[in-house]
Amino acid sequence: MTVRFYAWTHIKTASNAEPVEAGQTYNRYMPAPSISTATAGKAQVRSNGQGLTETDLLKMYRIMVLSRTLDERAWILNRQGKAAIVPSSQGHEATQLACAWATDPTRDHYLIYYRQLPLLVALGVTPLELLKGFLAKEGEPLSGARQFPMHGAHPRVDAFSFSSVVGTQMPQAVGVALADKMRGESRVSVVFFGDGGSSQGDCHEAMNFAGIHKLPVIFLCENNRYAISVPIRKQVATESVAGRAASYGFPGVTVDGTDVEAVYEVMREAVERTRSRGGPVLIEAMIERIFPHTTDDDQTKYRSAEEIQRAKDRDPVPLLERKLRDRGILDDKLREQIWAEAKRAVNQANAEADAAPYPDLSTMYEGVYGTSFPTAASEAAAGHAEAKGRRQAA
């Protein structure tokens, strides 16, 4: 496990170790730093706490496989001309599932962006609901098939509606966290964004406000090193995105985003800190974007074949599979069963979504204009009648 912790001052290590500088890389042989009681000034490193069980890891693997199968199917549907556009989440699975496990979906908030398919699956959005979104079919619950896939607010999942405009979910997350703090509620808001989003003005304003008011919000940067085709070196002049946290008065952590256990540990401590009124945390998960930005992109024009292969070598799905095999949790028979179950579930959802109708044209304005409010025409008529009455009275 690799974790990098950023603070203003030196970080104290365990009692039998020497102090290290902020920014020191922690490897699997060193305890990851505690952020549950950290401040921007100093932090105390302690040994790793409660981790994921074998049952947890196997459940995460099942969801990863289902998410990956869905992702691949959506890509195929685009190539068949059925899905207008697809942003792949391949490479992001470990970080998002670790977040789902470390938080409490019954009370916490998730302010997402367009590459959150694994998280939505983990939170309970069904394959049918997601495929209806990609195909813009009637019954799609997030936006009624009116928006880009995975946009909108789900009636069962506390994932907020967001904009395709990059970064807008960050100040919204801060507003949600402020409301929770003012109400005295023990909730955590997690806002997801990419390295490209970290370059937006919304990011600075959100982190600055959250730091001043010590809000219960976790900024989770899924750094795949590309903002569409712009590499990280042309976006960020500093060593990392997480290093910026100290400027806003709260801790920043960089973690290997392909390692579910590493991300879970960091997320769990971040949740403990924010839930106990310790203020915000910035987590930078270093992940891989295995596929192009979307189905409209061709990454071979700006990434070499060698670089794309290196990204595939860090694919979190086979990495978790290897870990499960090494621990005796997964064998060939169980693996085949899990992949077959995922394929059956996606095939069934695909067939139902294909058969579903498109929304009727007559429903275009549903959810746009309230039926209990007067129309512009009726308001104008009322205004004319009132004006006429005043003239007659005069």
Annotated catalytic sites, by residue? 289, 293, 302
At 64 the three-state DSSP class reads helix
Contact between 174 and 209 under an 8 Å Cβ cutoff? The reply is yes
Alpha-carbon gap, residue 58 to 180, rounded angstroms: 34
196: which 2 tokens?
């490209």
Burial class of 277 by CB neighbour count within 10 A (0 to 12, 13 to 18, 19+): exposed
42: which 2 tokens?
């100093």
Using alpha carbons only, what angle is made at residue 250 by residues 247 and 256, rounded to the nearest 5 degrees? 100
Find all residues with CB under 8 Å of 310, minimum gap 6, and list them. none
At 111 the three-state DSSP class reads strand
Taking residue 234's Cβ as centre, other Cβ atoms within 10 Å add up to: 10
Give pairs for 24-30: CB < 8 Å, separation 24+: 26/1, 26/2, 27/1, 27/2, 28/1, 28/2
Tokens 């890389």 belong to 25
Closest to 317 (Cα-Cα) out of 70, 124, 4: 70
Alpha-carbon gap, residue 132 to 135, rounded angstroms: 5
Taking residue 213's Cβ as centre, other Cβ atoms within 10 Å add up to: 16
DSSP state for residue 74 in the 8-state scheme: H
197: which 2 tokens?
């989003």
Contact between 79 and 92 under an 8 Å Cβ cutoff? The reply is no
Find all residues with CB under 8 Å of 319, minimum gap 6, and list them. 94, 258, 259
What are the φ/ψ torsions at residue 209 (nearest 5 degrees)? -65, -45
